[in-house]
Amino acid sequence: MWDQSATVRAILVFVSPAATLVEALEPLRSEPARAAVLLDIDGTLAPIVRHAADAHVPEATRALLIEIAKRYGVVGCVSGRRATTARQIVAIGTIAYVGNHGGELLRPGTTRPELDPEVAAWTERVRQFAARAYTAEHQRIRVRSEDKDAIAAFHWRGAPDEAAAAAAVGEIARRALQEGLAVHWGRKVLEVRPPVDLDKGLGIAALLRGQSVATALYVGDDTTDLDAFRGLRSLVKAGALTTAICAAVSSDEAPPELAAEADLLIDGTGGVRGLLEALL
């Protein structure tokens, strides 16, 4: 049985201060078969780590997500990572994964993601750019590159001189824009992307299309999660959903605009576990 008082303490802000956590989640809890539970991974399910490859979802969180997948109509993780990498980190094959910020969709029980063809067409050009832009000097100052198919990421978290590393990555961004590519900044990471519509909101719309879902919850911690918030609210406006609940995970690095647009503000990854408990 979950500890309601502990869970409520994990929530910092409600849209209505008088609301309880259970009341806030009642649109999902009342009809779970017609509800979607959607979560970011890094900084939400998994604590932020210095090296992205070291990320993992704590077993206590994973166990809760397994139980939620048995009860709710749609459960999925929405990530900037490749969909297959996201599934390796979460290690649950019975839920969906939206990868590469909406460019990939890995449905439950399948092994190969569905790719957005417009995004996939840019894969080789992005890879060629990354190969030219990432130099021995970047390696020396500990900027790390990550190949995500149609997206190239450059991380500087934990570099000996993070300011110098960030400046070097800024030069990569400038070159990418000059070559007609798109850039997106995250928490100590730059992503070079195809210049096409690509965001978590579009990926969520693709996942929910054709599903018998009336309500949806999204939980995230970074700038890219704003697209998920806005995407869900667009589905409500269009009549595809009746209710959308958007939860922001607080941290020292969380962008202030995320909290400003959220319905709920959650206290770190521990608070996310409390939220998952409340859904059960």
* pLDDT digit string, tens, across residues 186-233: 889 999 999 998 899 999 999 999 999 999 999 999 989 999 999 999
57 and 42 in a common domain = yes
Residues marked active site are found at 40
132 and 169 in a common domain = yes
Question: What is the reported pLDDT for 1?
Answer: 39
272 and 159 in a common domain = no
Q: Domain range for residue 171?
A: 118-193
Taking the C-alpha atoms of residue 237 and residue 134, their distance in angstroms, rounded to an integer, is 43
217 and 133 in a common domain = no
Domain boundary among 159, 193, 227: 193
Domain boundary among 163, 193, 223: 193
Distance of CA 57 to the CA centre of its chain: 13
User: What does pLDDT average to over the chain?
Assistant: 89
Cβ atoms of residues 270 and 277 within 8 Å: no
Q: Which CATH number characterizes residue 131's domain?
A: 3.30.70.1020
Question: What is the reported pLDDT for 127?
Answer: 94
147 and 207 in a common domain = no
Taking the C-alpha atoms of residue 60 and residue 107, their distance in angstroms, rounded to an integer, is 24
pLDDT confidence bin for 245, thresholds 50/70/90: very high
Domain boundary among 172, 193, 214: 193
149 and 238 in a common domain = no
273 and 209 in a common domain = yes
Strands 96-99 and 74-78: parallel
Q: Is the pLDDT of residue 97 over 60?
A: yes
Strands 104-106 and 96-99: antiparallel
70 and 97 in a common domain = yes
Q: Is the pLDDT of residue 2 over 70?
A: no
Q: Is the pLDDT of residue 66 over 60?
A: yes
Q: Which residues contact 163 (CB under 8 A, 6 or more apart)?
A: none
Q: Which CATH number characterizes residue 89's domain?
A: 3.40.50.1000
**pLDDT per position as a tens digit, 38-62:** 999 999 999 877 777 778 899 999 9
Number of domains in the chain: 2
Question: What is the reported pLDDT for 118?
Answer: 87
238 and 102 in a common domain = yes
Among 42, 51, 46, which residue's Cα sits nearest to residue 144?
A: 51
The predicted model scores a pTM of: 0.81
202 and 182 in a common domain = no
Q: Is the pLDDT of residue 166 over 90?
A: yes
186 and 273 in a common domain = no
**pLDDT per position as a tens digit, 112-128:** 999 888 888 999 999 99
164 and 210 in a common domain = no
